[in-house]
Structure 1
């Protein structure tokens, strides 16, 4: 695409997505309002939060007096990130959607840098490296990792691209065209849009400088196990794994529908089915009785499935207690 003067710069939508993030949403909104790019539409969108997130959004939109057009809106129910993004895509006016998360902070020049890259490239999806921050905003260093290794490995080497890190991503409006909502919530929207880019031949472009402060809080969906030693913390983490695995089942179902009857993706279809099976095991064991967990064990076809399920075969309570004892003993030895 080419725009030869500032008067012809395209309208861009900065869409800030949130769910139960009242603790951080003000900082995220400030990052959106601080964008120096014009013309810019800002959509503050809440996915049916049960806390004060949407009220903060509404108040911020009401009191805003800057150059951008600001809208606050809310889904009728919690729909998951992918459906949430699609809802906003159907309402936005911009040619490009720059995504922001309700617990992250965008640099003021983020939209400017993305549009500059968009103008001089044929790409439809853009993402950047990022600076990790903790709960209180302390820097944890810059990261170039965009994750998604399992997703990229679904595809043959010649089909792969950079994996688009969701919290730093921007999408051309064409990416959303013709997409249907998922039947069940999908929270790994970046994974699904990566698959869509491969299927449709959309180029993904990586910007090599940090444009987002990406929060690694204890409550983040993507936060790892860390140094949890208490039985309650371990149980909570296992429930989070199960919850995310259920979303992965939905992701795999949607991906298989996308690839149905498309030639050249036999490898991907086989690997997606394997991921689907593993996700079913990870989400199915936690609320099941011993008999159902044994049935899940009989479904195992890969060593990673066996390694995951066998330590948990006697249930969450037993697994968390044993893991807590070992973790506590390890900490004592270190001390």
Structure 2
């Protein structure tokens, strides 16, 4: 790949990632697309992550390290975004890997199609094996629907975005779970955004138990509710009340199945659409109705059966 193409920026938020960080940064350094700047944001790590990052900066001048007091992944992403100089930007999580030709494929998709965002396929890696995730070509509004329903991942790590689209948008620093979904929604809401889809693998998404994404803490549950509310507000003038209610009711199910919280005070306006929603399974409708009727046993039983099924699969 000719290195005299437009500059692409890669933002890598880092927090106590010493186990995975070296492999992550090697995957970035070995990109076939060479005209890169790599912004490493050390978010107050207490392990050897900073030393690993410094070693890459010494070996490769494209790598730049910024250290800040621990402020969360959203603040780290935002700090990186404020200093990038590339025409296009992508994020990479410090416990994941970029495929060798990721930037090459994504950049080519943008230039060939005149798009603002290129979206690539990715591989989910977990103890049960790898799963290759692809997308199909669709217009912007169909793409957004798939993001909102969870059919497409809202991660920024498989999406190369024209930097200009991000300049007037900030990450909400109080949100460290689903922060990427909220940011991406703000980008996609802009007029005339064109998306191109490729089905070459660009990313290896490691399902690490300690990561923000896979650690469903009480704070994560609260963030999911806040993000769902904000995202629905962003798109409420585009999609029907029934569809917006569907997104909110899906969040209610997530809350009930991953915490001890009730959903009775969460999005009460969406409950009236629940029974007629053909896209929410009956078992999940029963979970919500059980909570509305203050019946905790059916919810506990559902969680227990799901847990038993997961153990058998392992």
- The answer to whether TM tops 0.5 is yes
Match of 1:205 in 2: 196
Is the CA contact 1:184–1:250 (under 8 Å) kept in the aligned structure 2?
no
Asked whether 1:152 is paired with 2:145, we answer: yes
Provide closer, same or farther for how the CA distance between residues 72 and 31 of structure 1 changes in structure 2, counting only shifts above 3 A: same
Is the CA contact 1:241–1:283 (under 8 Å) kept in the aligned structure 2?
no
From 203, 208, 226, the counterpart of 1:250: 226
CA RMSD after TM alignment: 4.3
Asked whether 1:170 is paired with 2:160, we answer: yes
- List, as ranges, runs of 4+ consecutive aligned residues in structure 1 with deviation greater than 6 Å: 296-299, 329-332
Asked whether 1:105 is paired with 2:105, we answer: no
Could you tell me the TM-score, scaled by structure 2's length?
A: 0.71
Match of 1:233 in 2: none
Is the CA contact 1:114–1:126 (under 8 Å) kept in the aligned structure 2?
yes
Is the CA contact 1:248–1:276 (under 8 Å) kept in the aligned structure 2?
no
Asked whether 1:324 is paired with 2:296, we answer: no
Match of 1:230 in 2: none
1:37 aligned counterpart, secondary structure: coil
Is the CA contact 1:133–1:141 (under 8 Å) kept in the aligned structure 2?
yes
Match of 1:56 in 2: 49
Is the CA contact 2:124–2:130 (under 8 Å) kept in the aligned structure 1?
yes
2-structure distance, mates of 1:150, 1:46: 33
2-structure distance, mates of 1:168, 1:315: 39
Is the CA contact 1:126–1:164 (under 8 Å) kept in the aligned structure 2?
no
1:173: Cα distance to partner? 0.6
- Which structure has the bigger radius of gyration? 1
Is the CA contact 1:16–1:32 (under 8 Å) kept in the aligned structure 2?
no
Q: Deviations over 1:292-319 (max 9, x none)?
A: 7666697633145743335565669x95
Q: Deviations over 1:60-119 (max 9, x none)?
A: 3235444442122245443444x5433311111211112211221112322222222233
Structure 1 unpaired stretches of 5+ = 156-161, 224-236
2:109 aligned counterpart, secondary structure: helix
From 23, 27, 42, the counterpart of 2:38: 42
From 49, 67, 73, the counterpart of 2:66: 73
Moved more, 214-223 or 199-208: 214-223
1-structure distance, mates of 2:310, 2:256: 30
Could you tell me the TM-score, scaled by structure 1's length?
A: 0.68
1:209 aligned counterpart, secondary structure: strand
Is the CA contact 1:151–1:191 (under 8 Å) kept in the aligned structure 2?
no
Is the CA contact 2:177–2:213 (under 8 Å) kept in the aligned structure 1?
no
1:208: Cα distance to partner? 1.8
From 16, 22, 26, the counterpart of 1:26: 22
Moved more, 83-92 or 15-24: 15-24
Match of 1:16 in 2: 12
Is the CA contact 1:12–1:94 (under 8 Å) kept in the aligned structure 2?
yes
Q: How many residues get paired?
A: 293
2-structure distance, mates of 1:23, 1:205: 34
Provide closer, same or farther for how the CA distance between residues 276 and 322 of structure 1 changes in structure 2, counting only shifts above 3 A: closer
Is the CA contact 2:40–2:64 (under 8 Å) kept in the aligned structure 1?
yes
